[in-house]
A and B are shown apart, each in its own frame.
Chain A
Amino acid sequence: MTTMKSSKRNALNVRAALIKSVLLMVLMCVTGLALAHGERNQEPFLRMKTLHWYDVKWSVENDATIQVNDVVEMTGKVHFFSRWPEVINKPSTIFLGNATPGPVFLRVETYLDGVPMIQSTGVELGHVYDFKVILKARIPGRHHVHPMINVESAGGLVGPGIWINVAGNADDFVYSITTRTGTEIENLGSYAVPNVVKWHAIWAIVGVLWLLWWFRRPLIIQRYLLVKQGSWSQLITNNDRKIAASLIVGIIVTLIYANNITKEKYPRTVPLQGSKAHVDTPVNKYAGMVTVKNLSAEYYLPGRTVTVKAEITNNTNSPIQVGEFTAANIRFVNHSVPAAMKGVDVGYPGELVANDSLKISDQTPIQPGETKILDIEATDVAWETERLSSLLNDPDSSYGALLFFYNAKGERIIEEIYGQIIPTFID
C-alpha cells in the first residue's frame, strides 16, 4: 500500500515537473519575443502615416555577432508623410537616435541630411531626409537595433530593426574624448566620478558627525519632557551653540574654498547647449513625376490582403512599373520588376519583407503621359504579425504607404498613396 502511494506520488511529482518545464519554456519563448521595443504595439495609423523608412542598411548583417567596442553604422532615408495624423504634433521638433535597450550601444554620431544631430531639429512634411547613425557596442547581449526618430509629443517612431549579438566584456568598453581645453578623458562613462564621490563623502561625514553629536544623548522621552518643562538650556547647551556657529563658518568657508579651487582647475567652462539644429528642407526630386490617386482600399481580413485601386498617371518620359508598396516598414515587392528585387538586401530583416510578390492587375508598363487604373494587392501574414490589422480599431481608419516605381533603366520614383480603408470580415 505504502509502495503504491509512493509510486503514485513520484508520478505526480514527475508530471508536475514536466508541467513546470513546459510552462517555463513557454515563458522563455514569450520573454524572447518581448526583447524588442514594442514597435508592433504602436497604432497602425501612427506607423503608416508618420515615417516611412527605406533603403535602410546596417554595416553588419542581421543576427551578426560583434565585440564590445565594435562600431555599427545605420544609414538610409526617412520620408515624413504628408498626411501626418491630426492627433499628434507635426514634426517641428524631432530628435534622431537609436532604439536599443537603453545605452547598450553608445551613440557615436548621428546625421540628418549631413547635419550633426547632437541637438534636436525640425523637418518639413512630405520630404525625404538621409540619416546616418553610428553606434558603438557597449553591453554584451542580444539586442534589437533600430534607427528611431523621436517626435515631440508623439514619442519614438522606430524604423526597421535587426538583431545584433554583442560579445565580450562590458568592462573593456572605452570611449575617450579630448576637451577643447586639452583635458583627455579616458572614459566618458567614468569621468570625474571619483571627484563626485569625494565631495559626497566629505559632506556626508560632516552630516553624520552632526547627527552623532545629538544622537549620543538621550533623544525622545527625556527631550520631550524637557521641552514640555521649558528647559531649553538643557536641550541646547552653550557647547551646541558654539559648535553650530563654528559649523556655519566652516560650511561657508568650505563652499568658498571648494569653488575657488574649482575655478582654478576649470577656468573655461560652457553651459549646457540647448539650441536647435537647422536642416535645410531637401528638394523633392520626385515632385510631379507620377500622380497617384487612391480610388479605394480594402482590407480582406481572412486573406490578410490589402487591395488598393489606384489611378496612376506617368508624367515622365519613360515607361514605369510599380515595383514596391511599403507601409509601416513592411515591404511588398513586385517580383517581376528586377530593379525592385535588387533593392532588397540580403541582410534585410526577413520578417519585414513579404514572401509573396506584390500583385498588380496589369503588369505592362505605364507609358509616358498614360493614366492607368491598377489593382495593387499586398498579401502577407505580416499584416497580422506586425499588428497592422488592428488599424480597424483606430479612430482614423485610413492607411498610408509609399509606392516605388521603376523605369527601364532601373531609376526609381517614389510617391505617397493614402486614403480610407474598408474592412471585409468574411469570405
Chain B
Amino acid sequence: MKLTTNEATLLSAVTTPNSDAARISRGLDMFVVAILFFAIIAAFHIHIMLTVGDWDFWVDWKDRMYWVTATPMLLIFIPAALSYPFMMKFGLPIAGTLCALCLVIGEWISRIVGFHLWTYFPYSMIWPAIVLPGLMLMDLVLLLSRNLFITSIFGGSAVAFAFAPANWPILAPYHEPVVHMGQLVNVADMIGYSFTRTATPEYLRFIERGTLRTFGGESTLISTGFSGFVCMILFFVWWKIGEWLTNLGTIPNVVKKHVGLGDDDDEK
C-alpha cells in the first residue's frame, strides 16, 4: 500500500539518524513496551490462573494427560491473537516470546508472594511450567513463513510439541518413586500429600483419568499429539479473532466539535 504524503514525510523523519522525530519515536517505543509488558503480564497471567489453574499451580497435578493436553491449548489463545497485530501491523514476530516471558514473570511473582510468603507453600510444590520454547518456536515459524496456514500447522503444534520436553527436565526429579506408609507414590505425590491444602483434598486432583494410559503406556506422546492438533486449529481461530479485533476500526467522535476540535476527515 502506498503511503500518504504525510506518512512518507513522517517515515523519512523517523528514519533520519539523531533527528528529533527519531528520538520521540524511540521514546514512544519504550513507553508502549513498558505498558505492554504490564498489560500482558496481567492479562495472560489471569487467563492462565483461571483456565490452567491447579494443573499449573501444584507439582502433584502435573500429570501426563490433562496437564500436557490442556496447558498448550489454553496457552495459545492470547499469543495467537496478539500475533496478528504484532506481525501484520508492525512486522514483529515476537508475540509468543513476549507473552511467555510476561507469563513466567507474573507466575513467579504470584508463586513467591501469594503461594510461598503469604500461605507458606514450599517452592518444590508450586513452581510454574516452562512455556517459552513452544511459544518462541511459534514466533520463529511465523517469521520464516509469514504464512498463516504454515504457522498454524507448524507453529501452533510446536506450542504443544515443545511443552512436555521443555518441562520434563524439571519435572523428572519429582517423579522418582517413593514408598511411604507402605504405598508406592512419587515425590510429587508426597509433596502434595505432606503440605496441607486444606480445601484441595487429594480426590480433587484431576489426573491420569480415562483410558488414554492404555495406549501402550505412552500417555505423554498421545496427549501431546492431540494437543498439537488442537493447537493448530486454535492458532488459526485466535489469529482470526486477533485480526477481527485489530481491524474493528473506530467510531467517529461526534462530541469533539463541542470542545473546540474540528472534524477529522479520516474518521468520516
Contacts and interface: CB of A to CB of B under 8 A. Distances in A.
Interface in A83-112: 93-95, 97-109, 111
Interface string B187-222: 111110111111101110101110000000001000
A211 interface: yes
Interface stretch (A25-33, A239-247, A363-371, A387-395): A239-247
Contacts of A210: 94, 97, 136, 139
Most A Cβ at <10 Å: residue of B61, B136, B146: B136
Nearest to A146: B198
Contacts of B179: 180
B33 to A, nearest CB: 7
B81 interface: no
Contacts of B133: 203, 251, 254-255
Interface string A344-356: 0000000000000
Given A98-B196, A188-B190, A189-B124, A270 B175 contact: yes
Contact of A195 (B11, B169, B177, B184): B169
Interface of A: 37, 93-95, 97-109, 111, 116, 118-120, 138-139, 148, 150, 152, 155-156, 170, 175, 177-181, 183, 185, 188-193, 195-196, 199-200, 203-204, 206-208, 210-211, 214-215, 218-230, 232, 235-236, 240-241, 244-245, 247-248, 251, 254-256, 258-259, 261-263, 265-266, 268-274, 276
Contacts of B137: 248, 251
Interface of B: 1-3, 7, 10-11, 14-15, 22, 25-26, 28-29, 32-33, 60-64, 88-94, 97-98, 100-101, 104, 108, 119-125, 127-128, 130, 132-133, 136-137, 139-141, 143-144, 146, 162, 165-166, 168-170, 172-191, 193-199, 201-203, 205, 207-209, 219
A75 B25 CA distance: 70
A229 B3 contact: yes
Q: Is the interface of A mostly helix, strand, loop or mixed?
A: mixed
Contacts of B128: 200
Contacts, number: 297
Contacts of B93: 236, 244
A95 B183 CA distance: 16
Contacts of A94: 203
A238 B1 CA distance: 23
15 contacts: A102-B121, A103-B196, A156-B199, A189-B125, A189-B191, A211-B94, A211-B97, A222-B15, A226-B91, A227-B88, A228-B7, A251-B140, A254-B133, A266-B173, A272-B61
B124 A191 contact: yes
Contacts of B189: 118, 272-273
Name the residue in A120, A181, A222, A266 with the highest tally of chain B Cβ atoms < 10 Å from its Cβ: A222
